[in-house]
Amino acid sequence: MKNSKRNRAIAILAFVIAGLSAYSQASGQWDPKYSRSFDTDSLKGFDETAAKSALFSEQYVGDEIYVKMYSLKRAYINNKYKLWGKHLQNNTYGTQAIALAACNNEDFEASPSGTIATQNQISGWTISRGNVTPPNNACNLIGCCPQNPSESYLISAPNGYVDPIIGSCYPIYSVFGSVPGDPNGTINNPQLTQLMYGDNFIRLNSSALGADAFSIERLNKTFVVSANNALFQFAYIFVTATGHACCSAGSLQFKLTNVTTNTPLACPGYTTVGPTASCPGNTIANVPYFIQQTCAAATLNSQVIFNKWKTAAMDLSPFIGQTISIDIIVADCDAGGHYGYAYIDAQCSPVSISVNNQPIYSNTVIAQSCSSIAVISAPGGFSNYTWVGPAGFTGSTSAVTTTVPGTYVVSMGNGPLCQPTSMTVQVGFSPNNLSASSTHSFLCAGQSATLSASAMTTYTWSNGLNTPSIVVTPAQSGTFAVAGTDASLCVHFATLSINVSNPTLNISGSDSTICDGEAVQLTGSGVSTYTWSTGANGPSIVVSPSVSMVYTATGTDASGCQASSPGFTLWVSPCVGTSEIEKDKLRVKVFPNPNKGEFNLQINDPIQQGLFKLFSADGQLVFVQNVNQGNNNIKIEKLSAGIYFYSISNNKEQLKKGKLQIE
């Protein structure tokens, strides 16, 4: 009965495993050895039913079952008959790169984008490839990494990159670089406490399986640690699948080696694998993972998942003067059915603390806040922060804000195996005591004011002068700024506004050319009071000169600032060349007027020996023509445009005068 139940359970389990093969990420293209049969005596004692149950619980599906079962049987036989070869240390995974004197191109910004096919293609880095074919896996890196890379890619995405597996719900932007990146990068990554920079980042490994299954790729940087590069900050996005045991799942690892002493370093270091209930410390709760395409929160059974950019930091200060090698290793699962790949960005910098964005490169520093508030920032990327300060001050984030002077100490954790990094800053405050004044806040154009500043050590005015007091003669209203540096080298600012009145007086007339004896009204504008060159006062005057005259006016605006007008010329013409008459004795119509030298003269009254004369504005006779009662067509050539005066007379007297404009 028991055997019957047991056989039925095995049959059900086999059926479920076969049905789940559709979820496997690759079709069954594996080495023929994975389907071989082992000798029954050799496997005596091997519980295949329990093994299948374990594989099923660890989410091995499809072709992975055969690969992993082969690996388990091979390991059982090797252990049983002591067939294992010489054990290789986990840190033995290839020859280290030549050390560089500095940490260069750590952010990938100096290299062109594209497929990476050679180990030294990316300046400052070495990239190589190996395999996690059993018995190799994430915990046993003896298969890493003697070959040229084939799946890695350097991406340049100034406006973001959409990974085909992750989907458009989370576009990827560069984290580190020398220039600010697309602002959308920061908007799409609220989990980061920093602004995002640069355009470039690298992908290690890929989503390819089949012939590319069992892939492992390594990114290496080896350099001499100095005070200028002792902080190695990195960011990663890891794309993988849930399930499998820790060593068998897709993995991302950061490993350090002290090349100077030829020893691996347990601290600092960093490892993450595909989340699984059997792998404590790498679960959904510790690293927020999301489901591909939807960006919904992932669970331990979500299949393909990814994390958004996560940053971390390694303090290499204890190794200044020594050569450190950093390996970033990404691997598929060891059964060939699930991929693992990662996006990486990094930067090297001094281990520094800053006050109000002013970095200070020392372990114990004195900083002066140039305002009443101090924002103290520690390097980003550490696992935890603990601040203590005066008056019971505490904090647990990378940056804290205070208004109290005193000594602040931050302890930055980097995992359970690392001693925390500690930094101390003594904060003082330098309030803005800069005082600025002006002898006048209002000026008429052409007047001067003295601007003065005090309580600082040095001064710089917006007009470039560097004395405590300056004299200015502004032509228009405006603001003068002064920057003052105090004894703590804090720069403070003050402004002074001066209003300037610069009135303009203009004269206009109802006419600019008249006949002798005609009257014209002249009007001033732009000020409040007016005094004319004739001695008259008020905004308007009426004049009737007998000769051409130039009229001017002066005035003051509402603020008492004076203005003078340009001259207004009023031209006077005798119009008739001889004598004037008191009134017209002839009904005449001139049209069109203005004209271009050709017009009609309509005389409505009888006239004998009529004569039409045309005068220039200065009284010169320029044209004569006989005219009669009725319509007379007059055509004048070669006269310049302007105002002309005409008269019509008979053989005895002048009968009509008027004005004509030629265009």
pLDDT tens per residue, range 575-585: 644 334 344 67
Q: What number is the average pLDDT over the span 484-513? A: 89
pLDDT at 9 over 80: no
For residue 383, what pLDDT is reported? 84
Instruction: Kindly tell me the sign of the dihedral angle through the C-alpha atoms of 57, 61, 67, 69.
Output: positive
Each residue of 394-410: pLDDT tens digit?
999 999 999 898 899 99
Please report which confidence band the pLDDT of residue 3 belongs to, taking 50, 70 and 90 as the band edges. Answer: very low
- The 10s digit of each residue's pLDDT in 290-347 is 999 999 998 888 789 999 999 888 889 889 999 999 999 999 988 888 899 999 999 9
- Residue 346 CA to residue 175 CA, distance in Å, equals 8
* 85 pLDDT more than 50: no
Within 8 A by CB and 6+ apart from 286, the residues are none
Q: What average pLDDT does this structure show over 109-136? A: 93
Contact 621, 615 (CB under 8 A): yes
- What number of other Cβ atoms are within 10 A of residue 150's Cβ? 15
Residues 6+ positions from 405 with CB-CB distance below 8 Å? 390, 427, 428, 429
Looking at residue 14, its pLDDT comes to: 39
Q: Is 70 helix (H, G, I), strand (E, B) or coil?
A: helix
Over 90: is that where the pLDDT of 370 sits?
Answer: no
**What length does the chain have?**
663
Domains observed in the chain = 2-81 (no CATH), 114-349 (2.60.120.260), 353-429 (2.60.40.10), 441-501 (no CATH), 506-573 (2.60.40.10), 588-662 (2.60.40.3080)
Residue with tokens 């960005």: 345
Q: Global pTM?
A: 0.60
Report which DSSP code applies to 252: E
pLDDT digits (tens, 9 = 90+) for 477-487: 999 999 999 88
Q: Which CA distances in Å does 130 have to 93, 216, 282, 567?
A: 9, 5, 24, 94
- Ramachandran region, residue 19 (left: φ > 0; alpha: ψ -120 to 50; beta: rest): alpha
pLDDT at 499: 95
| pLDDT at res. 124 | 93
Residue 269's H or E segment, with its range, is strand 263-273
179 Cβ contact partners less than 8 Å away, ≥ 6 residues apart:
197, 198
CB distance 414 to 398 below 8 Å: no
Q: What is the pLDDT of residue 87?
A: 39
pLDDT category of residue 91 using cuts at 50, 70 and 90: very low
Average pLDDT, the chain: 82
Beta bridge partners, 369, equal: 429
Most trustworthy range by pLDDT among 269-273, 417-421, 630-634? 630-634
What is the arithmetic mean of pLDDT over 91-110? Answer: 72
Token look-up 């009443």 returns 372
Any idea what DSSP says for residue 36?
P
**Which of 274-278, 528-532, 575-579 is predicted least confidently?**
575-579
**Are the CB atoms for 511 and 489 separated by under 8 Å?**
no
Nearest Cα to Cα of residue 461 among 439, 434, 425, 433: 434
Spatial distance between the Cα atoms of 645 and 655, rounded to a whole number of angstroms: 14
Nearest Cα residue to 656 out of 629, 618, 634: 629
pLDDT at 238: 94
Confidence at 146, pLDDT banded by 50, 70, 90: very high
Q: What is the pLDDT of residue 176?
A: 96
**How far is the C-alpha of 574 from the C-alpha of 584, rounded, in Å?**
16
pLDDT at 364 over 60: no
Q: Where are the beta strands (DSSP E) in 447-552?
A: 449-454, 458-461, 469-472, 478-485, 491-501, 506-509, 513-515, 520-525, 529-532, 540-543, 549-551
User: Could you give the angle at the alpha carbon of 257 between the alpha carbons of 256 and 258, nearest 5°?
Assistant: 125
Strands 374-377, 399-402: pairing kind: antiparallel
Handedness of CA 553, 557, 562, 564 (dihedral sign): negative
Across 94-98, 211-215, 507-511, least confident range: 94-98
| Each residue's pLDDT tens digit, 562-577 | 999 998 988 877 664 4
pLDDT class for 97, splitting at 50, 70, 90? low
In degrees, rounded to 5, the angle at the alpha carbon of residue 135 between the alpha carbons of residues 252 and 140 is 40
pLDDT for position 88 = 37
Confidence of residue 221 (pLDDT cuts 50, 70, 90): very high
**Bond preceding residue 539 cis, omega within 30 of 0:** no
User: Distance between CA 11 and CA 66 in Å, rounded?
Assistant: 16
SS3 labels along 72-107: HHHHHHHHHHCCCCCCCCCCCCCCCCCCECCCCCCC
- In which band, very low, low, confident or very high, does the pLDDT at 18 lie, cut at 50, 70 and 90? very low
Of the candidates 272, 339, 275, 343, the residue with the CA atom closest to the CA atom of residue 132: 339
Phi (first) and psi of residue 121, to 5 degrees:
-70, -35
The answer, yes or no, to whether residue 61 has pLDDT greater than 70, is no
